[in-house]
Structure 1
């Protein structure tokens, strides 16, 4: 009944102009607020919130029982440059244990940013061998939950967990040297480089949090957030997602980057859901490439400029 009311509300508020509510994608790991309400008191459930502005965990509030994830400190390498290189296995394992994660834990991840922030956490769990059948993502995040449920401002601490991670899966990441070798230098036809940032950052019209503007030579631009509904904070349907990535061949190896590791993680989740078998994330992304002045950059809407088109 609650779900039906929520559906009618979305139709009325979000779909009035078109007369229809958006169809949602159906990955098995996407759950809604009704599912969470039914399972929130499960003994082995660990609820993790990644807010864009972390202080809002306290001031705006969080889903009752949710542990705060500080998106930069907890999901990056605090000693690296840039900070959002992937954390080491030992560091991330210590973080998971601090959150109370055990071998039998079911994790539910959510954010207030169209799952882009939760996707970084989801990817790191996959990178270090967490059993992904035990991981869920709340589609719609705080918007979905707070439409019919209360938030809490009380901080949550859990008893330390004991989960042990595996070594990083080398088939899920690439370093700048791989990108430079395979894409910029050799033009390997079996590799596609994908820039998941907003188009104005891809072209160089907007420069934010980096010295250089533009994109890596040869990169195609698909904005991963375009696969989500900005108001409802939910994924679009499979047909819309497939159309978004229609120019990306499924039989290629895909390298993806964004600025600081969130939009590219969302692209990774979307591509894997669509059946792309080999998708790897650039460890450091544009925060590394765009701040390393010796590495080549292309400005404008085309993947290559005159220098690199030869």
Structure 2
């Protein structure tokens, strides 16, 4: 029996993609087949929200405004998590009940939809009832049309959320303690932003260049196809995260919560067990101004390598 257990563990280590679960991803045909389902609620999160009206949306879709609806508008960073009560009220306004079938889509390679997916998981929604349209608007418009016809308001929903699941996120003091101070070998910190922002070569949506000391860079958007906007294969995704051990606790961050949510979803789909995002992301760390920052290709610079 012991040998069998060791063999199974070895198989997990060398072939993680074989155990992946991406059942939350659906295609346009699946969604089209659900359009008459009375429990269906389709939510659109566009990078440019006005395109819901000017370009059009999937028939019946409700607009989600990513900054207004998916963050704490009065917080130190607008993309801290919204409170449970605020997010619950938002969901009820979209007509969501505890047994709604929710389909999310965007035009940004799943990064925006992933934030909404993460928040639903954070506050305890039944995630077996939440799907993401793989490929978003590109997938839908291959054989279907968008509409500019306004979506009629739904009856106010009755969804009841749970307290935030503390196993899904960290705050910046915990990152400072675990990664910078104690160098906990069981923690891996991942920066999900574009590489030139990680190194500090480019400063965008930030005050300072660089990354949190100790972070490695895995660009979550690289796990999707730029043209089709669909997820890459399980094997390709596993290769992207090859430097992230499966038996470690993973902390993820990006600028404002979208790309790190995509990274969280990618890792969970690959079978990683303990994955957490930094509440507020780089925005919280960066705007503190006195927290240490590293520029360049390496996780640590000379000051932190001693």
Give me the TM-score of the superposition, normalised by structure 2. 0.92
Corresponding position of 1:4: none
Partner in structure 2 of residue 158 of structure 1: 154
- 1:26 CA displacement: 6.2
Alignment-derived partner of residue 28 in structure 1: 23
Q: How far has the Cα of 1:154 moved from its partner?
A: 2.1
Match of 2:132 among 112, 137, 156: 137
Give CA deviations for 1:159-198 in whole Å, capped at 9, x if unaligned: 1100000000000010000000000111010100000000
Q: Which residue in the other structure is 2:280 paired with?
A: 284
Runs ≥4 residues deviating over 4 A: none
Where does residue 49 of structure 2 map in the other structure? 54
Which residue matches 1:199?
195
Shift, 1:103, TM fit = 1.4
Return the offset for 1:81. 1.5
| Separation in structure 2 between the aligned mates of residue 141 and residue 118 of structure 1, nearest angstrom | 9
Q: Counterpart in 1 of 2:302?
A: 306
CA shift digits 1:267-295 (9 cap, x unpaired): 00000011110000000111111121100
> Are the equivalent residues in 2 in contact too, given 1:72–1:84 (CA < 8 A)?
yes
The residue that corresponds to 1:175 in the other structure is: 171
Please give the per-residue CA displacement for 1:208-260, whole angstroms capped at 9, x wherever unaligned.
Answer: 12111100000000000000001001000000000000010011100000001
Query: Which digits, 9 at most, give the CA deviation of each residue in 1:106-139, with x for residues without a partner?
Result: 0000000000000000000000000000000000
CA–CA distance in 1 between the matches of 2:233 and 2:252? 22
What is residue 12 of structure 2 aligned with on the other side? none
SS in 2 for 1:276: coil
Is 1:252 aligned with 2:243? no
In 1: Cα distance, 2:280 partner to 2:210 partner: 16
Alpha-carbon offset, residue 45 of structure 1: 0.2
1:92 counterpart residue number: 87
Shift of 1:158: 1.4
SS, match of residue 189 in structure 1: coil
Counting matched residue pairs gives 286
1:243 paired with 2:234, answer no
**2:220 paired with 1:214:** no
Structure-2 residue corresponding to 1:8: none
TM-score, normalized by length of structure 1?
0.91
Question: CA offset at residue 28 of structure 1?
Answer: 0.5
Q: Decide whether the 8 Å contact of 1:197 with 1:222 is kept in 2.
A: yes
Unaligned 5+ residue runs, structure 1?
1-24
Distance of 2:271 and 2:48 partners within structure 1: 33
Which of residues 36, 49, 58 is equivalent to 1:63?
58
Q: Which residue of 2 aligns with 1:21?
A: none
What are structure 2's unaligned runs of at least 5 residues?
1-19
- Equivalent residues in 2 for 1:121-136 (5 A)? 121-136=116-131
